[in-house]
Structure 1
Amino acid sequence: MKMKITDVKVQSIRIPVPQMWVVHFGQTMDVTLVTVSTDQGIEGYSMGRAVGGAPGIILGQEVVSVAKNLVLGENPFDREKIWQKMWTLTTRVRLSIFALSCLDVALWDIAGKALSIPVYELIGACRDKVPAYASSGVHSVVEEYVDEVLLCREKGYRAYKLHPFGVPEKDVEACRAVRKAVGAGMALMLDPTGAYDHRQALGVGRRLEELGFFWYEEPIGDFDIGGYAELCRALDIPVLAAEVLPGSLYSLAEFIVRGATDIARGDVYWKGGITGVLKMARLAEAFGMKLELHHGASPIMDWANLHAMAAFKNGDYLEILIPKEPLDYGLKEYVQIDEEGFVHLPRKPGLGAEIDWDFINAHTVFKA
């Protein structure tokens, strides 16, 4: 289909962060809405969250000053050509992976809308619903994890992940309490976000095996590929690594050949959009490995994650951060689970995300 990209605009908003997520995101969070326009009046959307405490205008400025020039005049259906053009700059640290991801997701949105089909069907559907797990914030006491997991089970979740204190003994105590509360019928995961050294990571991993946990995510820093290789050899519980490591499928390839992860980790924001995630999924599949998608970092990217995950078989769960309501912003509809813990794919064209412009305009801190 002949079409041209005519403009790329950004609008950054600032929103408050729930207390249990302040340790990760700070008191407020800046998110940039990216709009890609075409000569046929079709627009594609995506969002990018500020990372590392940076204000959202940094991503917005990068998109309009660097990425925009790479895509103007291009056919939005030439997604691979555009991805490769942007990736060349990303490998030289002249364009962030986040800017690339935002542009890529918006292009998939345009293509689905132009053809009047959902993105996951445009890719090639494998399923029309995906199971989700509830992903906790960092709580103050063990009892808060117990109360939360029981509430999540009542809502329909069949799996729950703890983001713990980052203190091995307290983390194991929380894991024991949560397992005792829900019994054996619920899948449980632990993600200490790289808080442990090698000895601590091995010790906690042994305890998780005793408790029958489903996976063990990012126990040490993502750059410690040697440490991950040792952990994977020493533990029976599947280890997930390289969630925030730069390099998308290329860094994943190194982790696979080094035996440094049992399950691949990625998402449409950290790994190069839907295109990047699909490349990772195929790579992992070739090695008999699952790819589990990390939270998309914004509501639109959660929809994009869902579409991508519905197009490959080797992934078990979609991540949903809780409490969910404070993190649902800027759209008319959000990812929701049914009573059995599944998220159903939307039937609307493209990503199926309708922008709540009243919210966006009321919280805007930068436009370009």
Structure 2
Amino acid sequence: MKITHVETHPVRIPAASPQFSWRAGLGGSAPDATGAVLRIGTDEGAEGVALFARPGAAAQLEELVDRVFRAELIGQDPYQREWLWHRVWELDRIEELPLPVLGLIDVALWDLAGRVAEQPVWQLLGGYRRSIPAYASTSTFATTEEFLDVATQCLEAGYAAIKLHAWGDARRDAKLCAALRDHVGDDVPLMYDGSAGFDLPDAIRLGRALTDLDYLWYEEPMREFSISAYRQLAQSVGVPLLVGETSDGAHLNTADFINAGAATFGVRASTTLRGGITGAMRIAHLADSYRLRAEVHGSDIPNQHLCMAISNTTYYESLVTSTDVRRESCVDADGLVHAPLAPGIALPAHLDYPAPLQHLVTTTP
């Protein structure tokens, strides 16, 4: 089997309704945007697809496919995912590819393999579980009262745990974290995500508050440029750190966080930011060898497959972006996400795909 065509198809990504915000200094939800689907086909009719959903993705991916990827992929064996994964990273040396693009071809090739085998990708990866609890990962709301009301709704909806994305003010965020702990009690797992909003002194100040409040993990309080800063943070606070979400280098960079003693809870794995399925599984196995967690980052179908395949992950991350809480469609009333059943990696069915992609959109019960 040989790859014979590599295509991009623009897809409209509807804006969130209602719109939502992140911490001070970061943008909020995007308006309607044009994403893209990468489609890889073969001389035997097998096909695989991957969605690139970020604003501006269509133009960005079309340019990269036309200039770089098509010539690299045509004529290659689509089952040689390992070789092609390494080849993309070789190209990155000159191209400085966006993080989500580094795993996009890999996701499409895993999708192709699953469709040919008539198995969901999590089963091709070995399969560890058939369901996993979801935690509510909030956007940033205006007041403490709104956060507490959202937390009540999340627990009533069945979510197993709650993670805050707060304002990016160490003192104010610490007060919010304390109010939330008092509101939900001692038995609900709570997490905090700083969205890289702090320097080391403020990260330590907030981390000590989270230690006293028994938060499960403390995530990305600083940009992930300085592993030395994260090592010092780990030595200064008791709350476990979850690291390695947005730093370049997939498992290689993750290994340095672990070696430095900075990953005291675990590390992030995801298809979007950590090198696709192949990169995420390398990270998961690396973390497992140190008896650390590899927590899957992001709400989408490829990451549902990862959650079912990775033994050392705890939750599926489900975004909650409105004060009127509605469970993500993949989360049931008991707060569980169940393993996808369709072959390959299903594209999300709610988007309006062009005709050449319609036969590749499969829904799962």
Instruction: Give the TM-score of the pair, scaled to structure 1.
Output: 0.87
1:144-180 deviation digits (Å, cap 9, x = unpaired):
1111111111111011110001111211121122212
Native 8 Å contact 2:2 2:74 kept in 1: no
Residue 44 in structure 1 maps to residue 48 in structure 2: yes
- Using the TM superposition, give the Cα deviation of residue 62 of structure 1 relative to its aligned residue in structure 2, in angstroms: 1.9
**Aligned positions of 1:1-368 closer than 5 A:** 2-17=1-16, 18-21=18-21, 23-28=26-31, 29-50=33-54, 56-262=58-264, 263-295=266-298, 302-323=300-321, 336-353=330-347, 355-356=349-350, 359-361=352-354
Change beyond 3 A, Cα 1:124–1:166: same
- Using the TM superposition, give the Cα deviation of residue 360 of structure 1 relative to its aligned residue in structure 2, in angstroms: 3.7
CA–CA distance in structure 2, aligned partners of residues 116 and 210 of structure 1: 49
CA–CA distance in structure 2, aligned partners of residues 223 and 215 of structure 1: 20
Native 8 Å contact 1:130 1:306 kept in 2: no
- Using the TM superposition, give the Cα deviation of residue 34 of structure 1 relative to its aligned residue in structure 2, in angstroms: 1.8
State, as a whole percentage, how many aligned pairs show the same letter: 31
1:238-258 deviation digits (Å, cap 9, x = unpaired):
112221111111111111111
Change beyond 3 A, Cα 1:47–1:64: farther
Native 8 Å contact 2:191 2:218 kept in 1: yes
Gaps of 5+ in 2: 356-365
- Using the TM superposition, give the Cα deviation of residue 70 of structure 1 relative to its aligned residue in structure 2, in angstroms: 1.7
CA–CA distance in structure 1, aligned partners of residues 94 and 182 of structure 2: 49
CA–CA distance in structure 2, aligned partners of residues 339 and 102 of structure 1: 32
Letter in 2 for 1:311: A
Native 8 Å contact 1:265 1:293 kept in 2: yes
Task: Give the aligned CA root-mean-square deviation in angstroms.
Answer: 2.4
- Using the TM superposition, give the Cα deviation of residue 15 of structure 1 relative to its aligned residue in structure 2, in angstroms: 2.9
Change beyond 3 A, Cα 1:356–1:176: closer
Native 8 Å contact 1:267 1:295 kept in 2: yes
CA–CA distance in structure 1, aligned partners of residues 30 and 212 of structure 2: 37
Change beyond 3 A, Cα 1:223–1:43: same
Letter in 1 for 2:331: I
Letter in 2 for 1:353: L
CA–CA distance in structure 2, aligned partners of residues 197 and 96 of structure 1: 25
Native 8 Å contact 2:39 2:108 kept in 1: yes
CA–CA distance in structure 2, aligned partners of residues 354 and 114 of structure 1: 19
CA–CA distance in structure 1, aligned partners of residues 201 and 348 of structure 2: 48
CA–CA distance in structure 1, aligned partners of residues 270 and 204 of structure 2: 26
User: Which range moves more in the overlay, 135-144 or 14-23?
Assistant: 14-23
- Using the TM superposition, give the Cα deviation of residue 114 of structure 1 relative to its aligned residue in structure 2, in angstroms: 0.4
CA–CA distance in structure 2, aligned partners of residues 94 and 203 of structure 1: 35
CA–CA distance in structure 1, aligned partners of residues 227 and 126 of structure 2: 33
- Using the TM superposition, give the Cα deviation of residue 354 of structure 1 relative to its aligned residue in structure 2, in angstroms: 5.7
- Using the TM superposition, give the Cα deviation of residue 105 of structure 1 relative to its aligned residue in structure 2, in angstroms: 0.6
Change beyond 3 A, Cα 1:97–1:279: same
Change beyond 3 A, Cα 1:276–1:234: same
CA–CA distance in structure 2, aligned partners of residues 325 and 92 of structure 1: 44
- Using the TM superposition, give the Cα deviation of residue 261 of structure 1 relative to its aligned residue in structure 2, in angstroms: 2.1
- Using the TM superposition, give the Cα deviation of residue 200 of structure 1 relative to its aligned residue in structure 2, in angstroms: 1.3
1:304-326 deviation digits (Å, cap 9, x = unpaired):
11212221211111111113899
SS at match of 1:16: coil
Change beyond 3 A, Cα 1:236–1:275: same
SS at match of 2:176: helix
